[in-house]
């Protein structure tokens, strides 16, 4: 993270305001530990939709994750797999 007192505190990767560390969960995506901001909220919101199809669940998880986090295009499928795994684990 970069910036100084006069510029504010901004992420050096995306330029946005860094997420609150207390709302970020780390999960394994393609073998790499990755922080997802507000993952618990994302899962709860998708669970409210009461979807039963894995593809639809994954699409909704990715949509909400992208709104709050950077998801590299090339890794979208891997993110989707990891998010679905977390979704299913959280519901167990």
**Residue 50 domain-assigned (yes or no):** yes
Helix (H, G, I), strand (E, B) or coil at 44: helix
pTM of the entire predicted model: 0.77
Distance CA 72, CA 65 (A): 11
Phi, psi of 17 (to 5 degrees): -75, 130
**Residue 25 domain-assigned (yes or no):** yes
Distance CA 27, CA 56 (A): 21
Question: Rounded mean pLDDT of the chain?
Answer: 85
**Residue 57 domain-assigned (yes or no):** yes
Domain span including residue 65: 21-90
**Residue 7 domain-assigned (yes or no):** no
Write the pLDDT tens digit of every residue in 63-90: 999 999 999 999 999 999 999 999 999 8
Give how far Cα 45 sits from Cα of 1, 18, 86, Å.
29, 22, 14
**Residue 15 domain-assigned (yes or no):** no
Distance CA 82, CA 85 (A): 5
**Residue 9 domain-assigned (yes or no):** no
Distance CA 69, CA 78 (A): 15
Q: How many domains does the chain have?
A: 1
């Amino acid at each position: 993270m970069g910036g100084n007192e006069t510029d504010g505190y901004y992420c050096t990767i995306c330029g946005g305001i860094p997420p609150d560390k207390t709302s970020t969960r780390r999960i394994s995506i393609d073998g790499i530990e990755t922080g997802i901001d507000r993952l618990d909220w994302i899962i709860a919101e998708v669970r409210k939709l009461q979807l039963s199809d894995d593809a639809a669940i994954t699409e909704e998880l990715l949509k909400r994750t992208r709104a709050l986090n950077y998801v590299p295009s090339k890794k979208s499928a891997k993110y989707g797999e990891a998010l679905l795994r977390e979704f299913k684990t959280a519901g167990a």
